[in-house]
Structure 1
Amino acid sequence: MRRSFITICLMLAIGATIGSLAYPVFYSYPHRFDAVKAAIADPGPVVNTPWGPLSRADRDLVVQVEVDGLWEISAGRQAVDRAPTKAIKEAGSELVTGHTALDKQVSTVAAKLAITLPTGPTVEQQGWLAQLTAAQGDSYRREFANLLREEHGRLFQQLAQVRSSTRNSLVRDLATATNRTELGHITALEKTGYVDFDTVATDATASPATAATQVPAPAAS
């Protein structure tokens, strides 16, 4: 009898131990993604400005818009000069006009928010320009339309994320203007008839918006 009592006590103790270990696991299971969501939502160091708080995501977007414009203006000018088709020439002209205007707004925003802007395209973007320069005929037309269309699509995603969450009015206005400009560029590129939508869709799914272009980390002085 005594042995049975001891056995029961041991079983109860083991059960209580297992339960205490399992409780946090089952309790936290519905919240298992909270830490991941918090990490994604974390804006990083926030600086207060007269136009509202400025987050790391805000600064990244300002730099991204500038660095994209640096290479897209060059690509657009090249398309206008080479003019293999009327649609390609018009798309190139759209790139130059749109990003020239955006560049002025970016410069103003960066100066007010003390954000250091890059002075040239990234190594990757320089590679794209070299790729376009080396291409000829139909190959050039396809590479121009698809390279630019894919990159505009990625920036479009980043714009949506920042535009919906920023508390800074200057960044909000820049995101709105850039969104409008990018949509015009996407439309012009698609009108060339050379965009491969299957490839664009696949690349957009495989590549997150934040990895669209490797840009130098913006510095706030």
Structure 2
Amino acid sequence: MRRSLITIMLVLAIGVTIGSLAYPVFYSYPHRFDAVKAAIADPGPVVNTPWGPLSAEDRDLVVQVEADGLWEISAGRQAVDRAPTPAIKEAGAELVSGHTDLDKRVRALAAKLAITLPTQPTAEQQGWLAQLTAAQGATYRQEFANLLREEHGRIFQQLAQVRSSTRNTLVRDLATVTNRTELEHISALEKTGYVDFDPVAHDTTASPAAVKTQVPAPSAS
């Protein structure tokens, strides 16, 4: 009888010990998920990923490439439809094909790195589209070539900077491909014969709309 009582007490003691060890594991585990969710919602300056550290500059570039594609595809389609010259039509087709491919790449990358992408152009980009839509004749040809050429020039600089500094292999690959695509677009736009190189040379960081005319704000409707 005494041995049975001792055995029961030992079993109970072992059970209590196991329970006390398991308690922090089971009850703290959900909080670990909370920490992961918080890191995604507010990633901070750098997030570690399987493809290397992801910086705020890296994320900004991914978002910028997507935003540029959203308005440049629309601008390219408009140029193809209006086709004021064969060279502008060709440049528009280059914009559509290049950014359609980049869009697929960016979406695949963003899904892996948990980056939220824009779903429509920025207010400034919508303004540029409105400006192109309203322009006619020679004004349209000049604004199409210069707005897009100067915008490509700025993203070209951003790509070079991130490409040289990023430690994330996915972002580096995207920067390489985007760099090549942007250079093709720059060449196509310059072949239109309407690019004004003075603003490009003297003010590569200014808003493209500020070089010629003030871009109208997008309509509220």
Tell whether the structures are fold-level matches, with TM greater than 0.5: yes
DSSP 3-state at the match of 1:204:
coil
Kept after mapping to 2: 8 A contact 1:46/1:56: yes
Aligned length: 164
Kept after mapping to 1: 8 A contact 2:154/2:205: no
DSSP 3-state at the match of 1:72:
helix
DSSP 3-state at the match of 1:193:
coil
Deviation at 1:178, TM superposition (A): 0.1
Answer 1 or 2: higher relative contact order, Cα 8 Å, separation at least 6.
1
User: Structure 1 stretches of 5 or more lacking a match?
Assistant: 1-43, 208-221
Distance 2:132 2:100 in 1: 21
Structure with the greater alpha carbon radius of gyration: 2
Deviation at 1:199, TM superposition (A): 1.4
Give the equivalent residue in structure 1 for 2:6.
none
Distance 1:206 1:75 in 2: 20
Give the equivalent residue in structure 2 for 1:124.
124
Deviation at 1:45, TM superposition (A): 1.1
Residue 199 of structure 2 is aligned to residue 199 of structure 1:
yes
Give the equivalent residue in structure 2 for 1:170.
170
Distance 1:192 1:94 in 2: 12
What pairs up with 1:101-120 in 2 under 5 angstroms? 101-120=101-120
Give the equivalent residue in structure 2 for 1:66.
66
Aligned CA-pair RMSD: 1.0
Task: Give the letter aligned to residue 116 of structure 2.
Answer: T
Deviation at 1:202, TM superposition (A): 2.1
Could you tell me the percent identity over the aligned residues?
85
Give the equivalent residue in structure 2 for 1:210.
none
User: Structure 2 stretches of 5 or more lacking a match?
Assistant: 1-43, 208-221
Task: Give the letter aligned to residue 54 of structure 2.
Answer: L
Deviation at 1:205, TM superposition (A): 5.2
Residue 126 of structure 2 is aligned to residue 139 of structure 1:
no
Task: Give the letter aligned to residue 79 of structure 1.
Answer: A
Distance 1:61 1:140 in 2: 29
